[in-house]
Amino acid sequence: MSTTSDKAAQHTRSLETLTNDDVGQVGGKNASLGEMIKNLKAQGVRVPGGFATTSDAYWAFIEANELESPIREELARWDEGEQSLADAGEVIRKLIRSGEFPEEIAADIREAYADLSRDYDAEEVDVAVRSSATAEDLPEASFAGQQETYLNIRGADDVLEACRKCYASLFTDRAISYRANHGFNHMEVALSAGVQKMVRADKAGVLFTIDTETGFPDVAVIDAGWGLGEPVVKGSITPDQYMVYKPLLEDEALTPIIGKQRGTQQEKMVFTNDASAPTRTVPTTDEEQAAFVLTDEETLQLARWGSLIEAHYDRPMDIEWARDGESEKLFIVQARPETVQSRVGENTIKSYQLKASAEPLVTGLSIGQSIATGRTSVIESVDNIDTFEEGRILVTSMTDPDWGPIMKKAGGIVTDHGGRTSHAAIVSRELGIPAVVGAGNAMEVLPDDQEVTISCAEGDEGYVYDGALEFEVHEADLEDLPSVATRIMLNIASPAGALRWWRLPVRGVGLARIEYIVNNIIQIHPMALVRFDDLEDATARDEIERLTQGFDDKREYFVDRMARGIATIAASQYPDPVIVRTSDFKTNEYADLIGGEAFEPAEDNPMLGWRGASRYYHTEYRAGFALECAAIRRAREAMGFTNIVVMIPFCRTPEEADKVLSVMADEGLVRGENDLEVYVMAELPSNIVQAEDFAERFDGFSIGSNDLTQLVLGIDRDAERLAHLFDEQQASVKQMITDVIERAHAADRPVGLCGQAPSDYPDFAAFLVEAGIDSISVTPDSVVDVIQAVAEAEANKTT
């Protein structure tokens, strides 16, 4: 950008001359923009050019218009209870908007704007004018959203007017309240207006370089909407969401996009040619609603930029981005430190668990990981917030900073609109309360004054249940846990749940159940996708059409959703091994999937029927298993998660193993190639009796103690009258476990166990250690107890 004169530099600064050392002069937002232009431009990060007015210009404006005393008087009257916050704020803002820029400052701003216009070969360049408070965006104080931004401004007169409006927005009701609550002196905070080349956005959104829900540091989370970014930030739409695994971004041959979810975007904000109303909201097109906002290339580029910005600042970052619809280039328009998850301690983990089950009244995105109960307070407009009672569950369409006074009194929040980076989501995290956002119909379904339970402890979906359900809270201290030689691993089903437990001192996932992904995310029987044209059930066909919207090939819907789910679980423990068990639904469970009844036989005892390995090579299911293989291959090869180990369940004979391995090889999963290991579940007596034969075909064993107990004792796991006899600690079951460990070790094969017994019985964990088990995989809430039991057993074993 052209260099402004020395005189102009007293009141304006080119962004490219700024660094983070200039926060006191131009505020955190503008200083950060300059920091990125100066240090990251050479690495390809694009930031629009511009200039910032200085704090000196602000104080000169206040002094020239003799505003200090009246501002102090209005604030004192509010503080002493003589007038309302709304009245005080309105008076102050009107005073500032009525002020005039001193001639020298006005000339400096006009000159800086003229220089910027020349830089972009324009007579009058279009700009965004953003407020940047001098105490803004510090890691310990989140001032985001307290002041205003004005978009699509053109011409020096309009720029001056926008700067004046920015000054006034230093005294919005929410900004005054926020400073008062956080101990900032109102008259020691100045306002800098950042005047930045407008990005003519046809796509925009927010990027976090940390998982905003779990604090998992290795992912970038991107929210994206059509048009300008304002609706994404304010939460008036439910945007697309993308999640990228950052450590694998260095290999440009990989596409580690582990999450990709289309939002419900009925509207977007666009520019106009009307100076008095420079933006307006319009409906999105049918094509936009059916498509993802970002291409994979754009998603990866934003994630790479986020990683560069995070590395430069050496902390997790909250970044706003936009794509220029004319040049089709992406730009970073703001960056500030993330202020919630980056401050969470790592030594303790608190988990919540519902003790009762119920059908949810409302479902949306879960924010936070806690549970709360309370009575609803349905409020349609911020004008009615005075009716809100402390501790209630706030139910509304969306929130913005004006809702702050009641949000901090809420026990939980439910909104119809918004995504994980919306205002409601950000504030609920800061307050440590659960929120369900993007519910869609909460205001319609939930009546006022109804007692409900809001649960965000069940993965990436949040639920609102009728009544006050019982729940438990567990807190685990990780700091003093002993180290153990036995590998402790996790049993995981939900991809979103996998990221919740990244702080646990485990070394991989011993059992990733893909049934959860099929049942809860995909929902459709694989063969109903393979043979959709043969499906006669009209209801199932309609539902499949709805779910697979946007996928030209319905099989790709399965592969895409499965691959990303598996990759998310693999990312949570990378590079430690993640053992993915291929599907082990029973026929009755498969039949319950959409379109499933047409492809499943009726069996008297599905527990001992057509399940596990026997399905994979069968002509009636092989094409369905091929979809699983394609998903695993994509997660391993295209995304880069070579820590994925495949495990085959319920493999009855060595000959059956040969058939399954042959099918896998035909589908591109060749044992030994690309470091692929294949394990077998040791859950049938035949797996133990013929362990040497299975060891020739597989790289390891994982004991499924539930099925093994069922088949050794001859007890159906579902037989209620025989439940008292079902005991994994029976001597016969233990003998089987001891035998398979000895035989597998003799064949140089590792053995793990992924059953529930070590979690329930410390003595059983001690038995496994004594028997020489290599790994024990347990549920997350059992890790602390099992580690302690294993440590004691290992100590006893060596004495």
Q: Which residue type, as a one-letter code, is found at position 274?
A: D
- Using CB atoms within 10 Å of the CB of residue 121, give its burial: 0 to 12 exposed, 13 to 18 middle, 19+ buried: exposed
CB atoms within 10 A of CB 19: 14
| φ, ψ for residue 139, nearest 5 deg | -55, -30
Q: Are 308 and 319 in contact (CB under 8 A)?
A: no
Task: Please state whether beta strands 348-354 and 471-477 pair in parallel, antiparallel, or not at all (unpaired).
Answer: antiparallel
Catalytic residue, chosen from 11, 163, 166, 423, is 423
Share of the chain above pLDDT 90, in %: 69
Are the C-beta atoms of residues 216 and 231 closer than 8 Å to each other? no
Tell me the mean pLDDT in the region 259-267. Answer: 91
Residues 750-771, mean pLDDT to the nearest whole number: 87
**Whole-number average pLDDT of the chain:** 91
Which helix (H) or strand (E) is 630 found in, with range?
A: helix 622-633
Output the pLDDT for position 143: 44
Give the H/E segment covering residue 738. Answer: helix 731-746
Give the whole-angstrom CA distance, residue 18 versus residue 130: 16
Neighbour count for residue 269 (Cβ, 10 Å): 22
Paired residues of 477 in beta bridges: 348
Spatial distance between the Cα atoms of 577 and 245, rounded to a whole number of angstroms: 16
Band (pLDDT 50/70/90 cuts) for residue 5 is: very low
Specify which of 4-8, 108-112, 324-328, 398-402 reaches the highest per-range mean pLDDT: 108-112
Contact partners, residue 572, CB within 8 Å, separation at least 6: 216, 492, 498, 499, 501, 502, 509, 578
In eight-state DSSP terms, residue 141 is B
Quick check: is 417 catalytic? Answer: no
- Give the DSSP H or E segment for 436: strand 435-437
With a cut of 90, say whether residue 124 has pLDDT above it. yes
Give the pLDDT confidence score for residue 9 in this predicted structure.
Answer: 43
Helices (H), 200-295: 230-234, 286-290
Per-residue confidence band for 174, with pLDDT thresholds at 50, 70 and 90: confident
Task: Give the model confidence (pLDDT) of 13-33 as tens digits.
Answer: 999 999 999 999 999 889 999
Cα 520 to its chain centre, rounded Å, is: 17
Of 388-392, 598-602, 603-607, 723-727, least confident by mean pLDDT is 723-727
Residue 240, beta-bridge partner list: 224
The DSSP element (H or E) to which 467 belongs, if any, is none
Q: Which pLDDT score, from 0 to 100, does residue 344 have?
A: 64
The mean pLDDT value for 644-668 works out to 98
Query: Which of the two residues, 426 and 52, has the higher pLDDT score?
Result: 52
Residue 651: strand, helix, or coil = coil
How much is the pLDDT for 478? Answer: 82
Give residue 232's pLDDT band: very low, low, confident or very high (50, 70, 90).
confident
Q: How far is CA 706 from the centre of its chain?
A: 33
Q: Give Cα separations from 310 to 221, 303, 315, 336 (angstroms).
A: 13, 10, 6, 10
Tokens at 693, concatenated: 């034969």
In the predicted model, is pLDDT for residue 345 greater than 80?
no
Of residues 385, 423, 391, the one with CA closest to residue 410:
391
Where is pLDDT greater, at 274 or 699? 699
Q: What pLDDT does residue 479 have?
A: 81
pLDDT at residue 212 above 60?
A: yes
Confidence bin at 763 (pLDDT 50/70/90): confident
Which tokens go with 461? 């979906």
Helix, strand, or coil (residue 599): helix
Q: What is the mean pLDDT of residues 467-477?
A: 86
pLDDT of residue 140 exceeding 60, the answer is no
Closest CA to 208 of 338, 19, 33: 338
Q: Does the pLDDT at position 718 exceed 80?
A: no
Burial of 400 (0-12, 13-18, 19+ CB in 10 A): middle
Res 145: pLDDT: 52
Q: Which long-range contacts (CB under 8 A, 24 or more apart) does 707-711 make?
A: 707/650, 707/681, 707/683, 708/682, 708/683, 708/684, 708/733, 708/736, 708/737, 708/755, 709/733, 710/607, 711/683, 711/684, 711/685
Triad 260, 635, 491: Cα angle to 5°: 90
Over the Cα atoms of the chain, what is R_g?
Answer: 30
pLDDT band at 342 (very low <50, low <70, confident <90, very high): low
Interhelix angle 55-64/68-79, rounded to 10 degrees, is 90
Residue 14, strand partner residues? 51
Question: Is the per-residue pLDDT at 266 higher than 50?
Answer: yes
Q: Give, rounded to a whole angstrom, the gap between the first and last alpha carbons of the chain.
A: 74
Q: Per-residue pLDDT tens for 34-91?
A: 999 999 999 999 999 999 999 999 999 999 999 999 999 999 999 888 988 889 999 9
Question: Coil, strand or helix: which one is 338?
Answer: coil
CA pair distance 735, 722, nearest whole angstrom: 22
What backbone phi and psi angles, to 5 degrees, belong to 307?
-65, -40
How far apart are alpha carbons 319 and 334 in whole angstroms? Answer: 6
**Lowest-pLDDT choice from 110-119, 404-413, 561-570, 617-626:** 404-413
Q: What percent of the chain has pLDDT over 70?
A: 96
**What pLDDT is recorded for position 699?**
98
Does 754 participate in catalysis according to the annotation?
yes
Q: What is the pLDDT of residue 36?
A: 96
Residue 141: pLDDT band (50, 70, 90) is very low
CA distances from 409 to 392, 404, 418, 433, 456 (A): 8, 9, 20, 10, 19
Nearest to 564 by CA among 501, 496, 510: 496
Phi, psi of 246 (to 5 degrees): -70, -40
